[in-house]
Amino acid sequence: MPLAPPSPERRPEVLVAHGDRRVDDWYWLRDREDPAVLEHLQAERAYADEVLGPLEPLREALFAEIKARVVETDLSVPVRHGPWWYYQRTEEQKSYRVHCRRPWRGGDPPLGTDPSSDETVLLDENVLAQGNDYLRVANLVVSPRHDRLAYGTDTSGAELYDLTFLSLAPGVPDASETVPGVSYGLAWANDDATVFYTRVDHAMRPYQVWRHRLGEDPAGDELVHQEDDERFSVSVGRTKDGTYVVIACESTTTSEWWVVDADHPGSAARAVLARDPGHEYSVEHHRGWFVILTNDEAEDFRVVALDAMGGSLDDAIEIVPHRQGVRVEDVDVFDRWLVLSERLEGEPVVRIVEIPGAGIAALAGTDAVGSSRVVPCGEHPATTWEGPNPEPSATSLRVEQTSLVQPRTVCDVDFATGTVTVRKVEPVRDYDPAAYCTTRLWATAPDGVAIPMSVVHRADVSLPAPCLLYGYGAYEVSIDPVFSARRVPLLDRGVIYAIAHVRGGGELGRRWYLDGKTAKKEHTFSDFVACARRLVEGGMTTPDRLAAHGRSAGGLLMGAIVNRAPELFAAVVAEVPFVDCLTTMLDESIPLTVGEFEEWGDPIRDRDAYFTIKSYSPYDNVAAVTHPALFVTGALNDPRVGYWEPAKWVAKLRALDPRAKVVFRPELSSGHGGRSGRYELWRDEALVGAFVLDALGAWEVPGGSGLSGGVSSAGV
């Protein structure tokens, strides 16, 4: 007999806020100490495996196609840092990266996949992963003199790392101590013996920066900075030139940066600019000046320079003025060049500005943008971003480019001439970019705003075709068009893949983000539905052949559109979805809640925010209607979206729509990012792909897969 869908018992909990009464039948699922919770998650996993069992041949076919296209033994383009080339290798049948270096002797970066005789393996993640079901490495940073390596390991998915130090110099012993429970971010002082790291509070908020000296007991580490405002999180790093260790304290709407002299790591931190509500900024350093990216009187940000000895914004010199609609997202500083990461007409671009011989202050009053150079890109829509560039004295800029049809391309751009040298194109076996086409479509939202979509499909696709529409729409995160070899098996089965660039993201500048958050959050959901309708009404697909996909905050989007327009979709994939958002945002003890008030609103103290969130909370708005097929994931160790959110949502969906095909597949030994290791990732993506293809009736590759083993013209 086939398993029946798990049906956790109802234990009604009455929740009251602002005079509003809600009854939550499955509130108890958040109690991980209750043995019934783990039993239920195990039952859900068993049910999912049985329901999805018939898709195993398709899943294996997709996995095989993904694996066949990826060149498993590969080498990243080496990056020069000091006297070394640094790079990573992957090896066939190994899931994790190998971090390496070799001496720099001038010339172009060495390419090729075979280890060289002068290669040094710094860290082999495959060795670290032995005996563990899960592994993530973070805070992997080489010391300024290149004699030591710091790295952190997480073997549960909880995003807490054990920090370890290795010696890279002959005759220098490894530090024997391990610093436990470290969060993201690490910076070395210039003495090669002092490191700065972060710790989290009870709600998983990075709130402290600590100083550790190698060879000493971590119990004696010193607290450098503590952020008591629960809306703010801290991070730590270094300026590009190594002059300062920087501490960033940031909420969703406000920033404050502190610096410590990297030559005197025991000195006190000092603020660059005092905290001012609503003021966001970031800091780099160039020859006695702080280069500051700021939203002061600049919705889409401008760049100013401030004497590093101190001062206020009133003392700053403007070097790149505000341009409405051109969002400046980042600034990098070289000895003679300023590099801006911008959003221009909805696409990420990289702009190069020359610093005059008189120094960065000489840019004031000049037409810095007019005389600048944008790194060219031959295809649209596309994505260009700055790659790793650790050397301030570099004469060329490492950039990377891609589109939905063009594999990732690594280039070096000569600062002085603008000459672009392609170092590598991601090798993809049996892939011809000319067989696919990409375009930008526009949908019209209910309020008349034009919503962009990036679309890719085979050039010979027959319309209407199966279609998978992806969306996110939060935190000013942009889902840019990038190539993925893992997507090709779906395209080859005639599936159209589209990205809905909905409000709440940052694709069209800061205003695009502001129009999709807090009281305006409804725009995110109506934008996505408008994109789906545009695809249907434009003849590209039909509702019985349209699927939607989102994860995390994009999973909230999936829950919202299922409630609003279930008839538009045949299937929906919601991975680690933030679907119980009202109850979560009412509980300040849950990780990240307080810091999220500026993104979603504070339903505890603000009655309007409470009812706004309630109006779209997927869990609170499930209706007794016919739902599309649903594939839902969650993770027991997820510190960002509690496993109970998808678990409760699925229980309510089944209760109100007993005939719905709802599959919940929880991971019991990983976190928010899913399983680790590339093969496990490919298998999980293949399972999602199989679910979508099955729901859309697109099992077969027309004419066969054509996988013969050769490398396409998109290769190296």
Write out the catalytic residue numbers.
552, 638, 672
CA distance linking residue 711 with residue 484, whole number of Å:
16
Give the DSSP letter of residue 475. Answer: T
With contact defined as beta carbons under 8 Å apart, do 375 and 413 qualify?
A: yes
CA distance linking residue 456 with residue 469, whole number of Å:
11
Structure tokens that stand for 72 in this block: 């498993």
- CA nearest to 652, candidates 600, 583, 599: 583
- CA nearest to 310, candidates 272, 274, 260, 259: 272
Burial of 412 (0-12, 13-18, 19+ CB in 10 A): buried
Structure tokens that stand for 225 in this block: 């900075």
With contact defined as beta carbons under 8 Å apart, do 386 and 350 qualify?
A: yes
Structure tokens that stand for 222 in this block: 């010193």
Strand-pair category, 629-635 with 662-667: parallel
Collapse the DSSP code of 454 into the 3-class scheme (helix H, G, I; strand E, B; otherwise coil) and give the result: strand
- CA nearest to 86, candidates 72, 76, 73: 76
- Chain-centre distance of CA 352, in angstroms? 25
* Amino acid making up residue 44: E
How many CB atoms sit inside 10 A of residue 710's CB?
A: 9
- Beta strand segments in 175-254, E: 179-182, 186-188, 194-200, 206-213, 222-226, 233-238, 244-250
CA distance linking residue 531 with residue 564, whole number of Å:
14
- Listed in sequence order, the residues at least 6 apart from 462 whose beta carbon sits closer than 8 Å to its beta carbon are 494
With contact defined as beta carbons under 8 Å apart, do 696 and 547 qualify?
A: yes
CA distance linking residue 670 with residue 638, whole number of Å:
7
CA distance linking residue 401 with residue 348, whole number of Å:
10
- CA nearest to 596, candidates 552, 530, 643: 552
